[in-house]
Amino acid sequence: MSSPAVVPRPTASAIDERPLTRVQLWTIVLCGIVIILDGFDTQCMGFLVPVISENLNIPLAAFGPVLSAALVGLMIAAMASGPIADRWGRRWVVIVSVFIFALFALLTARATTLNELLLYRFLTGLGLGGAMPNAVALTSEYTPRRLQPIVVGAIFVGMPAGALIASQAASVMIPLWGWRSVFVLGGVLPLVVAIALVKFLPESVEWKTHKSRTGVPVKHLFTEGRALGTLLLWVPFFMNLLVLYFILSWLPALLRQSGMPISAGVQAVAMFSVGGIIGTLTEGRVMTAIGARTVLVVEFVLCAVLIVMLANRASSLTPMLFATLVLGICVQGAQAGLNALAAMFYPTDVRATGIGWALGVGRIGSIVGPSLGGVLLSLRWTPKEILIAGIAPAACAALAIAVASRLPQRANAFR
């Protein structure tokens, strides 16, 4: 395929007025590949921990900080990279971020101690956290506004798809070449993609038009009538990723405590991931048809209902699998919708900052969720009680979206 460098690039106004061009499609595909790599690397550590623990003779309980390290790096980089991209451009922030997580994924493959794993996973997280919000911003700015919910939502199928690829790769590669080979693959692939990004990824036309803004980009999230909208947007980002990572981290263990076999937990996570793929693929079209507010509020209310169903049917396989499938559609579909909503809510000159900070706040939720499960277990809560506690964040997210949709400034993004 020809480089965009030799193909006329659409102007900012032409993007909204004309059908998608080859440059736009190529940009969207490249950004989607970046998100697939993010999903691969973010989830692969969870599959590998038992094998690494045995191979390096490190107690399983010691891996908690290692699992959190990448999430902390993601949070920091998501918040820091947005302002950088809004001042200096999206293209090179995406490219450098992909190079960073490629490098440290390869170094993780050489780790021999717990401290090395901790350091390399944190630094990998910095790369991952810088790549995603700017890939989202670039995608939204090369997509006609009428298609933004569909396209921005759809590229997030890369997260569950990347996790699915990681699980399949791990199951094949570990018996043949050991756990280190998975990290080698997780480093070589983004390295190849980063080289392709240097050649083919264009800079945002919208950003070039609006890059004259001076000052600290973060403060502009709270000016021009955006302050309350920003805070209300952060609430569902935090709450939804809290629920998402709580389910991924604790559902198998809670099902086991409820008397289900270990295989049921594996099936539940698989159904949750399948639901995530369905949800992310369909979210944008549904949002375009009936509005962001209606879709997101219904999804969060359904999350609460499904959590209650899951808590009461945790020992019955078929109802439990159905509940986790639909829960995956709602939770991961809602996350794709929130990402599209953030891209539509913020203007070009603070879009990467807005998306980055929203994802950064969400990453705090992704750290709190798994930790909260451990705390509640230590307090001797039953699996049913722990699952029912998930109603609260879902309800808070629904309420925040409902309130935000009534704001006068840029409220059309929430409707």
Judge if 311 and 367 occupy the same domain: yes
Of 177, 212, 247, the residue that ends a domain is 212
Judge if 145 and 226 occupy the same domain: no
CATH number of the domain within which 15 lies: 1.20.1250.20
Provide the domain limits for residue 199.
4-212
Judge if 173 and 276 occupy the same domain: no
pLDDT of residue 16: 66
Judge if 188 and 284 occupy the same domain: no
Of 188, 212, 236, the residue that ends a domain is 212
Judge if 62 and 148 occupy the same domain: yes
3-state helix/strand/coil string of the chain: CCCHHHCCCCCHHHHHHCCCCHHHHHHHHHHHHHHHHHHHHHHHHHHHHHHHHHHHCCCHHHHHHHHHHHHHHHHHHHHHHHHHHHHHCCHHHHHHHHHHHHHHHHHHCCCCCHHHHHHHHHHHHHHHHHHHHHHHHHHHHCCCHHHHHHHHHHHHHHHHHHHHHHHHHHHHHHHHHCCHHHHHHHHHHHHHHHHHHHHHCCCCHHHHHHCCCCCCHHHHHHCCCCHHHHHHHHHHHHHHHHHHHHHHHHHHHHHHHCCCCHHHHHHHHHHHHHHHHHHHHHHHHHHHHHCHHHHHHHHHHHHHHHHHHHHHCCCCHHHHHHHHHHHHHHHHHHHHHHHHHHHHHCCHHHHHHHHHHHHHHHHHHHHHHHHHHHHHHHCCCCHHHHHHCCHHHHHHHHHHHHHHCCCCCCHHHHC
Judge if 350 and 377 occupy the same domain: yes
**pTM of the predicted protein model:** 0.77
Judge if 232 and 343 occupy the same domain: yes
pLDDT in tens, the chain (415 residues): 444 443 445 555 566 667 788 888 999 999 999 999 998 988 788 778 878 888 999 887 688 788 788 888 988 998 888 888 878 888 999 999 999 999 999 999 999 999 999 999 999 999 998 998 899 889 988 888 788 888 887 888 888 888 878 878 888 898 999 999 999 999 999 999 999 999 999 987 777 766 645 445 678 888 888 889 999 999 999 999 999 988 877 777 778 777 878 677 778 878 888 898 899 889 988 988 888 889 999 999 999 999 988 888 767 888 889 999 999 999 999 998 998 888 888 887 788 888 889 988 998 998 888 778 778 877 888 888 888 999 999 999 999 999 988 876 555 555 5
Judge if 124 and 263 occupy the same domain: no
Judge if 317 and 187 occupy the same domain: no
Judge if 172 and 246 occupy the same domain: no
Judge if 176 and 307 occupy the same domain: no
Judge if 268 and 401 occupy the same domain: yes
Q: How many domains does the chain have?
A: 2
Of 169, 184, 212, the residue that ends a domain is 212
